[in-house]
């Protein structure tokens, strides 16, 4: 079982879009896939078309130990992957778990209780390096870092890499960076090329060959609760197939 965190403390870098569409591509390749929404905004949940009702369990109850992870998982309507949803309740995690010994291992312990075997578990992390992100990294076998190719996106990389290295050293020796993913990429621009070269220079071999181009269809699809394959099969959805192939090769 491969567990991958999509992580970046900066918001607006397409973490949720990447997680959802890579999960959909892996499912189309015949893999059993679970997507975990670890962001209190619940964007992955909504983007996958999951509507929560009163009494539905979420990641919040799972981490608190008041809900069984197997009962919290929902199947994506019309698709071959499952979702562990989240909602605004998860925003209390930093306070709720602040004094709990071993809090960083809560998600790992919950995943150990899964009944259904999954080939891939993908975690959409919140835009911070708080307790939920640390839980996700502690539970993961690898991390993918989505980036928008701007110079500002590079500024936070050092802090993120330091955090990943600390988690690897202290809590999860198997954790490694699977790759850095450039989103909304335009290879015709000098800026985008420069950012790609800077990443390749600082992290040799970690930049994915597949870079996701800007697409209005990708931007529109979460608004109707669909992944890009359900919404519109085009050249960008083919890029996610290529990306998923790269990921499978690297893991």
List pLDDT tens digits, range 41-71.
999 999 898 989 888 999 999 999 999 999 9
Q: Closest Cα to residue 107, out of 133, 88, 89, 130?
A: 133
What local confidence, expressed as pLDDT, does residue 222 receive? Answer: 67
What local confidence, expressed as pLDDT, does residue 55 receive? Answer: 87
What local confidence, expressed as pLDDT, does residue 65 receive? Answer: 92
Task: Report how far residue 76's alpha carbon sits from residue 225's, in angstroms, rounded to the nearest whole number.
Answer: 10
pLDDT above 70 (res 233):
no
Of 78-87, 125-134, 138-147, 156-165, where does the model show the most confidence?
138-147
Distance of alpha carbon 9 from the chain centroid: 12
pLDDT above 90 (res 3):
yes
Taking the chain, what is the end-to-end CA distance rounded to the nearest angstrom? 10
- How much of the chain, in percent, has pLDDT values that exceed 70? 96
- How much of the chain, in percent, has pLDDT values that exceed 90? 57
Q: Which residues pair with 101 in a beta bridge?
A: none
What local confidence, expressed as pLDDT, does residue 210 receive? Answer: 94
- The domain 2-246 having CATH identifier 3.40.50.300: the answer here is yes
What local confidence, expressed as pLDDT, does residue 133 receive? Answer: 94
What local confidence, expressed as pLDDT, does residue 234 receive? Answer: 65
Q: DSSP for 40-83, please give it.
A: TT-HHHHHTT----TT---HHHHHHTSS-HHHH-EEPTTSSEEE
Q: Closest Cα to residue 241, out of 21, 34, 82?
A: 21
What confidence tier does 95 reach under pLDDT thresholds 50, 70, 90? confident
Which whole number is the average pLDDT over 99-112? 92
What local confidence, expressed as pLDDT, does residue 111 receive? Answer: 97
Q: What is the pLDDT of residues 152-197, one digit of tens each?
A: 777 778 888 889 999 999 999 999 999 999 988 787 888 888 888 8
Global pTM value: 0.93
């Amino acid at each position: 079982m491969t567990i991958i965190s999509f992580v970046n403390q900066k918001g607006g870098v397409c973490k949720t879009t990447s997680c959802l569409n890579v999960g959909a591509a892996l499912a189309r390749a015949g893999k059993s896939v679970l997507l975990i929404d670890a962001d209190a905004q619940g964007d992955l949940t909504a983007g996958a078309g999951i509507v929560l009702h009163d009494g539905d369990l979420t990641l919040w109850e799972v981490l608190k130990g008041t809900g069984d992870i197997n009962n919290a998982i929902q199947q994506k309507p019309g698709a071959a992957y499952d979702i562990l949803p989240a909602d605004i309740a998860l925003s209390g995690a930093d306070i709720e778990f602040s004094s709990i010994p071993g809090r960083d291992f809560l998600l790992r312990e919950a995943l150990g209780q899964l009944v259904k075997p999954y080939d891939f578990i993908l975690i959409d992390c919140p835009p911070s390096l708080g307790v939920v992100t640390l839980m996700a990294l502690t539970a993961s076998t690898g991390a993918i870092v989505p980036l928008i190719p701007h110079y500002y996106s590079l500024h936070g990389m050092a802090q993120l890499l330091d955090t990943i290295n600390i988690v690897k050293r202290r809590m999860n020796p198997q954790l490694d960076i699977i790759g850095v993913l450039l989103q909304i990429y335009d290879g015709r621009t000098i800026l985008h090329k420069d950012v790609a070269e800077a990443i390749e220079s600082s992290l040799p071999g970690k930049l994915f060959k597949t870079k996701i181009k800007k697409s209005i269809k990708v931007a529109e699809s979460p608004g109707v609760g669909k992944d890009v394959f359900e919404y519109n099969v085009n050249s960008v959805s083919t890029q996610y197939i290529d990306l998923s192939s790269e990921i499978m090769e690297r893991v």
